[in-house]
């Protein structure tokens, strides 16, 4: 999926293909390279999602660990939660997904259902996880009241460049900034 029309690639200085599987093959990268940069010289980088340590709703670090005995209640309102679901299922055997459409404005009814399901679960070790994007929509007072006292955590994400390309990418950005800085 492209963030803008395919024809916009001619205006770019650099391109980054995001959300690649870490196991992307050299053949797949070559095909992608030829499709995106067929008549240009733009550098092309490939990146994958890098899941960061869990945080509280307030951005604080937490030492809660997920293991095979953890039941995870996942709350999402994002376009494609599949990579996150897959990641969490690799950490723990039970993911109960409360899935809503992208940009969904969570309602009292939505969050009451999540809280009720969480409280009804007999698992000894259970947590609620949401995305950074979705956590922003939980900040309203009436939803905070429902979630108060429940272990709600946020799963931050970052990116990592594949093929040991971080140094080359950083150098490219540093050079660009040096060449285009405006002195006041």
- What the chain holds in terms of domains, given with CATH numbers, is 6-50+159-180 (no CATH), 53-155 (3.40.640.10)
Most confident among 16-25, 26-35, 103-112, 135-144 (mean pLDDT): 103-112
Predicted confidence (pLDDT) per residue in 115-125, tens digit: 999 999 999 99
Cβ count within 10 A of residue 34 = 10
Average of per-residue pLDDT across 153-175: 95
Phi, psi (5° rounding) for residue 155?
-100, 95
Q: Which of residues 139 and 74 earns the better pLDDT score? A: 74
pTM of the model: 0.84
**Residue length of the chain:** 184
Token digits of residue 8: 């916009």
User: Which of 23, 39, 32 shows the shortest CA–CA distance to 2?
Assistant: 32
Token digits of residue 31: 């095909």
pLDDT of residue 62: 92
């Amino acid at each position: 999926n492209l963030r803008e029309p395919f024809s916009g690639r001619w205006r770019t200085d650099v391109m980054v293909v995001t959300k690649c599987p870490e196991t992307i093959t050299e053949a797949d990268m070559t095909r992608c390279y030829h499709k995106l940069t067929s008549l240009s010289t733009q550098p092309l980088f490939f990146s994958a999602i890098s899941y960061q340590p869990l945080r509280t709703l307030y951005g604080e670090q937490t030492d809660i660990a997920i293991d095979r005995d953890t039941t995870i209640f996942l709350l999402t309102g994002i376009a494609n939660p599949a990579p996150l679901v897959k990641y969490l299922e690799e950490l723990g055997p039970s993911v109960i997904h409360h899935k809503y459409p992208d940009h969904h404005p969570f309602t009292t009814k939505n969050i009451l259902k999540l809280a009720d399901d969480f409280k009804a679960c007999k698992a000894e070790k259970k947590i609620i996880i949401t995305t950074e994007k979705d956590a922003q929509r939980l900040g309203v007072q009436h939803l905070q009241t429902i979630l108060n006292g429940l272990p709600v955590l946020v799963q931050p994400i970052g990116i990592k460049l594949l093929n040991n390309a971080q140094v080359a990418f950083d150098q490219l950005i540093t050079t660009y900034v040096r060449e285009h800085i405006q002195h006041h």
